[in-house]
Amino acid sequence: MNWDLHCHSTVSDGLLSPARLAWRARANGVDALALTDHDDTAGLAEAQAAARAAGIRFIPGVEISVTWNERSVHIVGLDVDPAHAPLREGLARVRSGRLGRALRIAEALARVGIEGCLEGALRHAGRAHGIGRTHFARYLVERNVARDLRSVFRGFLARGKPGYVPHQWASLEDAVSWIAVAGGVAVIAHPARYRFDPAQTGRLFEEFRRCGGAGIELESGGHATQATRLLAGLARDLDLAGSRGSDFHGPGESRAELGRLAELPPGVRPIWSVLRPAAG
Ligand code: AMP
Ligand code: MN
Ligand code: MN
Ligand code: MN
């Protein structure tokens, strides 16, 4: 089975509609797909219908933005019921901070002489409440400020760069509990991308587990083989399951194509062993 349990649609910062993602997944040989838009479940119904038509399994998901130790960490929820009130309300609260943050990003960019970014980024964001750094990055590429998304992040939007503004997202505890009470399982997204030292990563995993977290992403579009090996050891030690997700955002933009990832390392319990069996 080819599982891809992490990707984005136009509901957040992806380039393809939820339906197009499902069809692309099927064309790429994906057997089971989770759509995990940032802080939003609005694309799940469309993706689910398309996945059914395409004959692939669909797992309703979400990727929740969390602030942990003053750093952003992403928690993927798999097999969640998007109608469940605590999850729905929690996500609405997280999204409600995005527009104000966008305004502060635009002000920060204006201070280094790049004006008009809020309007520009809003044009790239399908929904104003889903506006994020990727939309700023696309706008800055369009303006020839940098040649691709990576360079925009490196020069302007990453932590410590002129367009970066600190922001308070959900707490780790809240995010994991919203996912759990909505019937889902929580997974730490792309842990190798946070630039934590091994001790911090260990503390994050332990706290996550204490909160009720179930797994960590071992195979991710953002991971090198060496990182995956180290993380797999940690997962086994803490009895956390392993997950696999491309974090696909769009053709030509992402580190991994939908469904094109290595297998989970040996000896790791796959997260799909704790997902409920497919309905119907
Ligand atoms: P936000 O939730 O607004 O902070 O935006 C986070 C998103 O920015 C991530 O989900 C990625 O899609 C994107 N992103 C973060 N860092 C990079 C990077 N170095 N290169 C390209 N995209 C990035
Ligand atoms: Mn993203
Ligand atoms: Mn992420
Ligand atoms: Mn993601």
- 167-203: pLDDT as tens digits: 999 999 999 999 999 999 999 999 999 999 999 999 9
Mutational test site, ligand 1, from 9, 64, 133, 151, max ligand atoms within 8 Å of CB: 133
Q: Tell me which residue has its CA closest to atom 11 in ligand 1.
A: 134
The one-letter code for the residue type at 193 is: R
Which helix (DSSP H) or strand (DSSP E) does residue 29 occupy? none
Q: 178 CA to middle of ligand 4, Å?
A: 18
Q: 37 CA to middle of ligand 4, Å?
A: 7
The whole-angstrom separation of Cα 270 and Cα 184 is 15
Q: Output the pLDDT for position 222.
A: 75
Neighbours of 83 (CB within 10 A): 9
Report CA 245 to chain centroid distance, whole Å. Answer: 9
Say whether pLDDT at 279 is over 70: no
Ligand 1: lining residues by beta carbon, under 6 Å = 13, 38, 65, 132-134, 149-150, 153, 249
Which ligand 1 atom sits closest to the C-alpha of 131? 3
Q: Output the pLDDT for position 26.
A: 98
Q: What is the mean pLDDT of residues 218-237?
A: 92
The whole-angstrom separation of Cα 262 and Cα 266 is 11
The whole-angstrom separation of Cα 75 and Cα 216 is 9
Q: 173 CA to middle of ligand 3, Å?
A: 17
**Model's pTM, two decimal places?**
0.98
